[in-house]
């Protein structure tokens, strides 16, 4: 079986894309912590539920950014193919 | 070429529709332009209808359904912007409301089977650059050039390069956030419809609910909120 240079680069790009998605761990943990604290806050003060929820969603959406950068790198490697 | 992808029918890329030559360059009209045009037409029709209804409204009669919806939208945007920007809100009411409605309709357009225009970096980067321009303009207008330079060398002058990088990162990060979120939704839906096309009956509706409606609405809110926060920060910095 012959593997050309092109195929080798494709394979390495796919591995790199998979590795890039490890970036998803951080936002997952961070969002979980934010949601847990929001649940605790609502438990302590049920009257402020809507405020707590909107603040939590805003913070989570901002925290998601680093994970999305990993996704972007993976998409660039798989579909734009910068190294071929 | 496509062997990496395994499935040739997964289709979410931007496609060129036709090309023309201008100043020796080949310029493509892509799906983004067409979807943007459809979104703007929807937006324009909605705006004209709302204007017609509000102008002809009888203040003593019971408001109709459409008038109620329009008033609800305007009131919600008004509350959101006033709550975030305080007394400088009236100057930015027009721009932020337009931005909100435009991004919202763009994100929701995935429901109509269009490719959402905000899943193209060429649409979100200009929005980020407009925010950047507003921050810059308001900083220089309200703090003066001296105050701007003083803010740049905040704790000590040696920190100036880091502050410059932080300023430049603002438009890139907010435009990439919107782009990547909507793109991930588009890719997910394309994968579901492309790879599971035999069993994709009905249940992708719930995925649409999350990826298009929930994620789109949250990202619209975040984009407008961050723009308002940065601009209000530039106005009231002390």
Whether B149 and B163 have beta carbons less than 8 Å apart is answered as: no
In this predicted model, what pLDDT tens digit does every residue of B226-236 receive, in sequence order? 899 889 888 87
State which residues of chain A have pLDDT below 50.
none
- B145 pLDDT more than 90: no
Residue A22 contacts B where some CB pair is shorter than 8 Å: no
- pLDDT value at residue A20: 92
Residue A27 contacts B where some CB pair is shorter than 8 Å: no
CB contact set of B238 (below 8 Å; sequence gap of 6+): none
Q: How far apart are CA B135 and CA B232, in angstroms?
A: 9
- pLDDT value at residue A54: 85
Q: Is residue A83 part of a domain?
A: no
Task: Provide the mean pLDDT of chain B.
Answer: 86
Q: Which two tokens stand for residue B77?
A: 């945007």
Local confidence band at B6 (pLDDT 50, 70, 90 cut-offs): very low
- Identify which of B210, B217, B138, B222 has the alpha carbon closest to the alpha carbon of residue B176: B222
Q: Is residue A40 part of a domain?
A: yes
Q: Is residue A84 part of a domain?
A: no
Count Cβ atoms below 10 Å from residue B81 Cβ, excluding itself: 24
- Domain with A9, as residue range(s), is 5-75
Q: Is residue A63 part of a domain?
A: yes
In this predicted model, what pLDDT tens digit does every residue of B42-80 receive, in sequence order? 999 999 999 998 888 888 888 888 888 999 999 999 998
Q: Is residue A80 part of a domain?
A: no
Q: Which two tokens stand for residue B216?
A: 């789109």
Q: Is residue A82 part of a domain?
A: no
Strand-pair partners of B30: B16
A61 contacts B3? CB cut-off 8 A: no
Q: Which two tokens stand for residue B66?
A: 């459409």
Predicted-complex ipTM score: 0.78
Report the CATH number at residue A55. 1.20.20.10
Please name the member of A13, A14, A72 whose beta carbon is closest to the beta carbon of B176. Answer: A72
Q: Is residue A23 part of a domain?
A: yes
Residue A50 contacts B where some CB pair is shorter than 8 Å: no
Residue A14 contacts B where some CB pair is shorter than 8 Å: yes
For residue B17, count CB atoms less than 10 angstroms from its CB and return exposed for 0-12, middle for 13-18, buried for 19 or more: exposed
A62 contacts B177? CB cut-off 8 A: yes
Report the pLDDT averaged over residues B116-126. Answer: 90
- B10 pLDDT more than 80: no
Q: How far apart are CA A53 and CA B170, in angstroms?
A: 25
A11-14 contacts at long range (C-beta below 8 A, 24 or more positions apart): A13/A77, A13/A78, A13/A81, A13/A83, A13/B4, A14/A77, A14/A78, A14/B4
Report the pLDDT averaged over residues B83-108. Answer: 89
Q: How many domains, in total, are found in chain A? A: 1
**Chain A interface, mutation test: which of B184, B191, B227, B230, most A Cβ atoms within 10 Å?**
B184
B222 contacts A75? CB cut-off 8 A: no
């Amino acid at each position: 079986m012959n593997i050309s240079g092109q195929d080798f680069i494709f394979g390495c790009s796919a591995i790199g894309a998979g590795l890039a998605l490890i970036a998803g761990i951080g936002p997952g943990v961070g969002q979980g912590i934010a949601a847990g604290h929001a649940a605790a806050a609502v438990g302590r003060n049920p009257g402020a539920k809507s405020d707590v929820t909107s603040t939590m969603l805003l913070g989570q959406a901002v925290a998601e950014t680093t994970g999305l950068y990993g996704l972007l790198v993976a998409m660039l490697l798989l579909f734009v193919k910068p190294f071929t | 070429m496509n062997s990496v992808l395994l499935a040739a029918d997964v289709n979410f890329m931007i496609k060129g529709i036709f090309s023309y030559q201008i100043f020796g360059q080949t310029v493509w009209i892509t799906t983004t332009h067409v979807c943007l045009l459809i979104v703007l037409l929807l937006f324009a029709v909605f705006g004209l209808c709302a204007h017609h209804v509000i102008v002809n409204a009888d203040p003593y009669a019971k408001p109709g359904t459409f008038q109620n919806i329009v008033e609800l939208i305007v009131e919600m945007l008004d509350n959101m912007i006033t709550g975030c920007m305080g007394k400088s809100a009236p100057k930015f009411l027009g721009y932020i409301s337009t931005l909100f409605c435009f991004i919202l309709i763009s994100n929701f357009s995935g429901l109509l089977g269009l490719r959402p225009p905000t899943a193209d970096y060429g649409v979100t980067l200009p929005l980020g650059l407009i925010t950047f321009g507003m921050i810059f303009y308001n900083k220089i207008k309200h703090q003066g050039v001296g105050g701007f330079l003083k803010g740049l060398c905040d704790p000590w002058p040696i920190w100036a390069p880091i502050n410059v990088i932080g300023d430049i990162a603002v438009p890139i990060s907010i435009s990439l956030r919107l782009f990547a979120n909507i793109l991930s939704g588009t890719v997910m839906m394309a994968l579901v419809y492309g790879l599971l096309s035999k069993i994709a009956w009905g249940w992708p509706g719930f995925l649409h609910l999350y990826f298009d409606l929930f994620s789109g609405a949250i990202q619209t809110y975040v984009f407008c909120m961050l723009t308002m926060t940065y601009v209000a920060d530039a106005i009231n910095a002390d």
